[in-house]
């Protein structure tokens, strides 16, 4: 059973005896676990109880950061370095503001304690720890009444002994303790400190949440989706919760890539439009990962899938600003009350309401026909919005979609064009409850090859969790150059140590034998004198670095030594074999019905069909609407839809005859 918690709905996908069932329940933002438990109870009620494995993508850690609702943390660092967390990189958050504003640090100055003692960059002891200070440390920390402790000392990546001594001095307190050398043994003091603090901040919240699920869900095994596209054993997710800050979106990327490969289109742009936000990512055959990730102003240096997010979703609220310009998002109607058309008391016009008014979302097909949408309720608030813009109702609704599309187009260009990739060679894979309503227009604007809509697109993040392997990553900073004698031997020794540790931790949680595990070895490398790295495979790392550097920056320096900055190992369990049901062949007659469309200069009609009626080879020409339980796909005029042999819907421009 895979569960993805979203801002509006919590999605469940049940794989049993080769059969997949789906379910969506309203999210419960005040208590996210309740929606998960309610959904599990409904899913289990439909089948006889049996032992099950629960895979979960959670937004708990993300929300704790965004809402500043995490733990009360004490940071222990070297004396004189207490303010690293606040100084940061001294980047200007607002380039042209005379006085910039940054979010306050997660740990205020009074809870940042400096300790004597210091290590050098090679792990040599420059100054010993003070035994008297260590003996009194538990009392000093207790006086600050923390929920968790973060420990980050200079050069602990080279030798962890000082950090371990500090952790031992606090062991009697029984507090959750995030130690940088265990979590992120890499150089760059600010990013390591920030990552350790973020972990300390969210780990107690995540631990309570997962503890409740483990106790009440009834699962035989619980696995959490990690931000890097691999699943985590629950014990590690509770201890290293920072690895779950992109938990849900990561599942969507992995699910999209799985379906795209099945359809024969491995180079993709993922487009996940949910209720509150849109997440996009570029996958040139494989998902791209990054360590340059920031959430709410807090750098997080653990590997995450390279996902870009904008505040535009189906629930994004439209408004008119002081300059009479139309704005859409980032405020969202959320799960409660949700869009006006849901009939739960919503007042502001949302993107979903605009689709309902224009007829792209038929009122009788919500959640597969389980519920109905209220178009009449949209009229009053939409009229008020239109009055502020001096537009007709339909023009105002189309304006809402235009503004939302512009924000999402910009996000897709950030991860493609601005990074040197031509969208013409990529397929846009749309999912999330609202992705299929916008993907044709966005594909046209980008000039991408086609759009692809997998089965059950509104639950694809949950599907991705089923299709993602359990994995364990490990890293260590070395800082050794290619012209140093024995450099390759040093790299291999470090990688072997990391691999042994990762295998030992992963195998029990993955439920597999050590011989079944796949090992990936990489080096973060740079030219001597540079301050940024590129990741390349360990084998042939120097030549690969020259090649990748030339691809990225347009030049190479053959005569300059290449530094191996950080070595990385990722150990993966075998990818689960999720075999979705085979699509049915096309029938001679396709049951369609006519639905009313509305636009600025009048009204029209479109053919609507339920996706379950479509078979392989079926074709539709826009305007057309494909309805299913979890989402709706809009095929505008000038576009055609074909059902691929994989079961995916392929949308391509189709010139009108």
Within 8 A by CB and 6+ apart from 455, the residues are: 259, 580, 611, 647, 648
Other CB atoms within 10 Å distance of the CB of residue 457 = 33
Three-state DSSP state, 621: strand
Work out the average pLDDT over 520-536. Answer: 93
Query: Do residues 78 and 173 both lie within one domain?
Result: yes
Residue 220 domain-assigned (yes or no): no
pLDDT for residue 510 is more than 70: no
Q: What is the DSSP letter of 217?
A: S
Three-state DSSP state, 193: helix
Within 8 A by CB and 6+ apart from 52, the residues are: 1, 218, 219, 220
Three-state DSSP state, 593: strand
Point out the domain boundary residue: 541, 572, 603. Answer: 572
Work out the average pLDDT over 481-508. Answer: 89
- pTM for this model (two decimals): 0.86
Residue 27 domain-assigned (yes or no): no
Query: Do residues 386 and 482 both lie within one domain?
Result: no
What are residue 236's phi and psi, to 5 degrees?
Answer: -70, -40
Residue 457 domain-assigned (yes or no): no
What confidence score (pLDDT) does residue 511 get?
A: 53
pLDDT digits (tens, 9 = 90+) for 188-210: 999 999 999 999 999 999 999 99
pLDDT digits (tens, 9 = 90+) for 277-332: 899 999 999 898 888 888 878 899 998 999 988 888 888 999 998 888 999 988 88
Point out the domain boundary residue: 167, 191, 215. Answer: 191
What confidence score (pLDDT) does residue 506 get?
A: 75
Residue 391 domain-assigned (yes or no): yes
Query: Do residues 169 and 84 both lie within one domain?
Result: yes
Rounded to a whole number of angstroms, the CA Rg of the chain reads 26
Supply 328's token pair: 């859409």
Residue 311 domain-assigned (yes or no): no
Supply 580's token pair: 């979705």
Predicted confidence band of residue 654 (pLDDT cuts 50, 70, 90): confident
Residue 455 domain-assigned (yes or no): no
The residue among 349, 280, 288, 292 whose CA lies nearest residue 316 is 349
Provide the residue range defining the domain that includes 385: 316-400
Query: Do residues 88 and 172 both lie within one domain?
Result: yes
Residue 39 domain-assigned (yes or no): no
Question: Which residues make beta-bridge pairs with 537?
Answer: 522
Residue with tokens 């389980």: 370
Average pLDDT score over the chain: 89
The residue among 54, 4, 17, 1 whose CA lies nearest residue 579 is 17
Cβ atoms of 339 and 355 closer than 8 Å: no
Query: Do residues 76 and 156 both lie within one domain?
Result: yes
Question: Which residues make beta-bridge pairs with 267?
Answer: 284
Predicted confidence band of residue 249 (pLDDT cuts 50, 70, 90): confident
Residue 657 domain-assigned (yes or no): no
The residue among 251, 216, 235 whose CA lies nearest residue 44 is 216
User: How far, in Å, CA of 652 to CA of 642, rounded?
Assistant: 8
Query: Do residues 81 and 187 both lie within one domain?
Result: yes
Predicted confidence band of residue 515 (pLDDT cuts 50, 70, 90): low
pLDDT digits (tens, 9 = 90+) for 584-619: 777 777 888 889 898 866 788 999 999 989 999 999
Which comes out higher in pLDDT, residue 97 or 36?
A: 36
Q: What is the DSSP letter of 152?
A: -
Supply 200's token pair: 């300390």
Three-state DSSP state, 303: coil
Our count of domains for the chain comes to: 3
What confidence score (pLDDT) does residue 657 get?
A: 45
**How many CA atoms lie less than 13 Å away from 439 in the CB half-sphere?**
36
Point out the domain boundary residue: 539, 572, 605. Answer: 572
Query: Do residues 386 and 479 both lie within one domain?
Result: no
């Amino acid at each position: 059973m895979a569960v993805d918690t979203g801002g509006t709905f919590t999605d469940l996908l049940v794989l049993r005896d080769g059969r997949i069932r789906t379910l969506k329940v309203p999210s419960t933002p005040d208590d996210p676990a309740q929606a998960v438990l309610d959904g599990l109870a409904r899913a289990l009620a439909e089948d006889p109880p049996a032992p099950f494995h629960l895979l979960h993508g959670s937004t708990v850690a993300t929300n704790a950061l965004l809402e500043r609702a995490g733990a009360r943390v004490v940071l222990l660092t070297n004396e004189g370095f207490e303010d690293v967390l606040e100084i940061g990189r001294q980047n200007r958050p607002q380039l042209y503001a005379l006085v910039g504003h940054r979010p306050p640090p997660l740990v205020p100055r009074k809870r940042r304690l400096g300790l004597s003692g210091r290590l050098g960059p090679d792990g040599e002891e420059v100054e010993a720890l003070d035994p008297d200070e260590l003996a009194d440390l538990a009392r000093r920390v207790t006086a600050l009444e923390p929920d968790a402790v973060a420990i980050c000392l200079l050069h602990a990546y080279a030798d962890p002994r000082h950090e371990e001594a500090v952790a031992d001095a606090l062991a009697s307190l029984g507090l959750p303790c995030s130690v940088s050398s265990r979590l992120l043994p890499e150089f760059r003091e600010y990013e390591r400190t920030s990552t350790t603090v973020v972990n300390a901040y969210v780990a107690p919240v995540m631990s309570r949440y997962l503890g409740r699920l483990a106790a009440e869900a009834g699962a035989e095994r619980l696995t959490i989706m990690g931000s890097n596209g691999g699943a985590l054993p629950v014990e590690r997710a509770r201890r290293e919760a920072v690895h779950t800050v992109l938990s849900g979106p990561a599942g969507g990327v992995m699910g999209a890539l799985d379906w795209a490969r099945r359809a024969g289109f491995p180079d993709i742009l993922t487009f996940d439009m949910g209720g509150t936000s849109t997440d996009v990512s570029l996958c040139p055959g494989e998902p791209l990962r990054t360590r340059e990730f920031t959430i709410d102003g807090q750098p997080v240096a653990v590997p995450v899938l390279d996902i870009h997010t904008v505040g535009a979703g189906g629930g994004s609220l439209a408004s008119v600003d002081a300059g009479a310009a139309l704005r859409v998002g980032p405020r969202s109607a959320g799960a409660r009350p949700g869009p006006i058309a849901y009939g739960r008391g919503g007042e502001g016009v949302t993107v979903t309401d605009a689709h309902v008014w224009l007829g792209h979302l038929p009122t009788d097909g919500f959640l597969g026909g389980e519920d109905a949408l209220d178009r009449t309720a949209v009229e009053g608030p939409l009229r008020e919005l239109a009055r502020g813009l001096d537009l007709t109702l339909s023009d105002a609704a189309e304006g809402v979609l235009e503004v939302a599309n512009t924000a999402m187009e910009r996000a897709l260009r950030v991860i493609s064009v601005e990074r040197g990739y031509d969208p013409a060679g990529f397929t846009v894979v749309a999912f999330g409850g609202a992705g299929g309503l916008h993907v044709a227009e966005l594909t046209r604007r980008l000039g991408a090859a086609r759009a692809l809509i997998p089965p059950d697109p509104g639950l694809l993040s949950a599907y991705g969790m089923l299709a993602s392997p359990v994995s364990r990553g490990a890293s260590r900073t070395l800082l050794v150059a290619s012209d140093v004698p024995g450099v390759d031997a040093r790299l291999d020794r470090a990688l072997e140590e990391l691999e042994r540790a990762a295998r030992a931790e992963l195998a029990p949680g993955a439920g597999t034998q050590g011989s079944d595990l796949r090992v990936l070895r990489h080096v973060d490398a740079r030219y001597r004198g540079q301050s940024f790295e590129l990741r390349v495979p360990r084998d042939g790392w120097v030549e690969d670095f020259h090649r990748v550097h030339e691809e990225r920056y347009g030049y190479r320096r053959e005569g300059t030594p290449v530094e191996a900055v950080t070595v990385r190992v990722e150990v993966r369990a075998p990818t689960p074999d999720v075999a979705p049901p085979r699509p049915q062949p096309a029938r001679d007659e396709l049951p369609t019905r006519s639905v009313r469309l509305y636009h600025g200069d009048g009204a029209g009609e479109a053919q609507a069909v339920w996706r379950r009626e479509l078979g392989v080879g079926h074709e539709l020409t826009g305007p057309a609407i494909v309805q299913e339980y979890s989402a709706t796909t809009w095929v505008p005029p000038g576009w055609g839809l074909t059902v691929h042999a994989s079961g995916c819907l392929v949308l391509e421009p189709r010139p009108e005859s």
